[in-house]
Structure 1
Amino acid sequence: MKPVLKEQILTILAEIPPGRVTTYGRIATMTEGATPRMVARALRELPSGHELPWFRVITASRRLADHGGADEQRRRLIDEGVAFDARGRVAKERLWP
């Protein structure tokens, strides 16, 4: 991945406000050529101890991606007031931007 794309992804990630979520695809469309998979890869490569709100990024179906940090992601979103419906989806109203 080009460094400029990674920088764009991380800049957008830092802008997601508390209590809101966005999708891998939405972040990708805000860049100059990244794909949703590239966004996911950039998030997987975040260094430990970073302050970026990776947990505010969900799938296009408004669910959590299936990954090792999903339980922590769910907990952190709930702590910010984000609720999940019976099917594990976040309400459309919580999507940013």
Structure 2
Amino acid sequence: MNPDVREQILTIISEIPSGRVTSYGRIAAMTDGASARMVARALRDLPSGHELPWFRVVTASRKLADHGGADEQRKRLIDEGVAFDERGRIAQERFWP
């Protein structure tokens, strides 16, 4: 991945406000050429102990992606006041920007 695009992805993720979420695709659209999969890869490649709010990135269907950290992601979002409906979706009003 182009280092400049990776940096754009990480900068956008760092700007997601507490209690809000955004999708992989929305992040990609804010960059100079990233895809949603590239955003996912950038998140997957983060070193342990990083400070980025990775847990605020969800799928376009307003659900958590199926990955090993999904339980932790759900807990962190709930701690920030993000609620899930009976189908596991997050309200559209919580999406940023």
TM-score, normalisation: structure 1? 1.00
Amino acid at match of 2:83: A
1:46-65 C-alpha deviation (Å, 9 max, x unpaired): 01110000000000000000
Q: Secondary structure at the match of 2:33?
A: coil
CA-based RMSD of the aligned residues comes to 0.2
Q: How many residues align?
A: 97
4+ runs of 1 displaced by more than 2 Å? Answer: none
Unaligned runs of 5+ in 1: none
Unaligned runs of 5+ in 2: none
Amino acid at match of 2:11: T
Identity of matched residues, %: 79
Residue number in structure 2 paired with 1:30: 30
TM-score, normalisation: structure 2? 1.00
